A and B are shown apart, each in its own frame.
Chain A
Amino acid sequence: MLRVEDLHVDRGRTKVLQGINLSVEPGEIATLIGANGAGKTTTLMTLSGLLPIAGGRAEFRAERGPLDIGATSPVGLVRAGIIHCPEGRQIFGRLSIEENLQLGAYLSNDRDRIAQAVADIYEWFPILGERRALKAGNLSGGEQMMLAIGRALVAEPKLLLLDEPSLGLAPQITEEIFDALGKLNREKGVTMLIVEQNAMLALELADRAFVIENGRIVLTGTGKELLDDPAVFEAYLGVG
């Protein structure tokens, strides 16, 4: 589904990514873990077309054949099914919940389908349905995260990129969110690439995991393998 080879990306003069290799297969949950500043967010922003590629290649296998991410506009990537749920949720606080969800399907012209997709989200997250006319800025952090995920799902993602879904949430809420993500993956078959600082949670959920350090992938394996790896345990799981 997604294949990234020797990806280099610069931000200003800083060479942030220095040869990333990773791949995600259809139906899996993959996770990218690593410390602050390792290049996690940069990777996701590159995959959704927001940053130019300086070297290497990123390819998305869509239904209509392979798509070169570096040569496709952000709009084109959304259309192809790469949906990015950004760090810090970034919901539209001054818009209503309903409007936020509708924007998720901005590129679709099929009104019935949009209505159905929005109704589905309300079923998944009933609390959003109860408050659909409310301005999204009034929601709590966890509810905003649900809305951000819901907004991404309305777009019918082939590949869902999630940036730090646990950021700023209480541990219990984080667990609820991760439960929901697992359920979405099992029941709807949504392929996901999750970037997380909370490595334990992410590894428990993931089929496949990548550890990023200073812009390079230093370790790859299944979520379970990495969980059991003492080096990973030491570096990212710690005693916390």
Chain B
Amino acid sequence: MSDYLIQQIVNGLSLGSLYALVAIGFSLIYGVIRLVNFAHGDLLMIGAFMTFGLVASDMVPWAAIPLLVLAGGFAAGGLIERVAFRSISGAPMITGFIVTLSASIAIQNLALIFLGSQPRNFNFPEVFRMRLPIGGADVALIDIVIPAVTLLCALGLTTFIRRTRVGIAIRAVAENPFAAQLMGISIGRLVFLVFGLGGALAALAGLFWSGKYGQINPLMGFLPGLKAFLATIIGGVGSLPGAIAGGYILGFSEIAFVGFLPPEYSGYRDAFVFGLLILILLVRPQGLFGEAEQERA
């Protein structure tokens, strides 16, 4: 294998993992309450700025930062649920939409006010910027760490959903909230949990994003968030393995588009991504792994 190919595969894996981390949250939340949370991508931005703040403060040991970011993301996701979603539960789908869209706009602009519109540069410590020779290619350590951690998170979450009592309850609420209530399941608490879990993973993606690209700004969450939602749709909304697969499909296609076509096309990568989505929706409206379902009012 040529080192160029290896490099592209690593890039695809790494970018796909970031999309997958964000997509998991989209999918979980949609699966449970049939709501597209437009503010979800902004949690990536929040995670990135938390990382930035923690690194800059130089007060916490390195190993603790990911844990703090996860916890912060959980809190931020839960806060969005409490403030924006809880108040309108039971309202029509379009209302839910508009509320999360408003929440996203509010978060972005609050970040602009308090964090400033200038992009900030920052670097992870030397260790994480190490490069490894793999099969002749020179691969950044972080591009290996990202897929590895993503894999762990995905496995952990899947096991949680499949095996534990709370996981079964989450699936029950997703399928039939009315009957789930009759089992004594408190839907409000589960919804909070799901927003929190999604937020934690999105914030972790933000940490990785800032480490990989070294630059952050208050609007950075929008496009990756939107693309992660595409990944969710590609995989089939509400399906966890689908969201993960969708993330990687998107990541690899994007890298392939940029890496193997003449450079004058690379500016069109975002257009290509959305074209891909429309194509997939035309062929399989329920996504690649999703089950066809009726839209609930």
* A–B proximity contact (CB within 8 A): yes
Residues of A within 8 A of B186 (CB): 75
List the 5 closest A-B pairs by CB distance, nearest first: A78-B184, A90-B179, A107-B184, A106-B183, A84-B182
- Which of B37-45, B75-83, B120-128, B169-177 makes up part of the contact surface? B169-177
Q: Min CB distance, B46 to chain A, in Å? A: 32
Q: A94–B180 Cα gap in the complex (Å)?
A: 13
Interface residues on chain A, size class: 20 to 34
Residues of A within 8 A of B185 (CB): 75, 103, 106
Residues of B within 8 A of A132 (CB): none
Partner of B184, one of A94, A95, A106: A106
Q: What is the total number of residues of chain B having a CB less than 8 Å from a CB of chain A?
A: 16
State whether B182 touches A48 (Cβ < 8 A): yes
Interface of B with A (CB < 8 Å)?
165, 168-169, 171-172, 175-176, 178-186
Check if A55 is an interface residue, CB within 8 A of chain B.
no
State whether B182 touches A86 (Cβ < 8 A): yes
Residues of A within 8 A of B169 (CB): 103, 106
With contacts A90-B176, A92-B176 taken as known, whether A74 is within 8 angstroms of B171 at the C-beta atoms is no
Query: Which of B176, B183, B185, B186 has the largest number of chain A CB atoms within 10 A?
Result: B183
Within 8 A of B (CB), among A83-115: 83-86, 90-95, 99, 102-104, 106-107
Closest to A114 in B: B165
**Contact mask for chain A residues 57-101; partner B; CB cutoff 8 A; 1 contact, 0 none:** 000000000000000001100110001111000111111000100
Q: A48–B186 Cα gap in the complex (Å)?
A: 14
Partner of A99, one of B168, B178, B180: B168
Residues of A within 8 A of B183 (CB): 78, 103-104, 106, 151, 155
Residues of B within 8 A of A151 (CB): 183
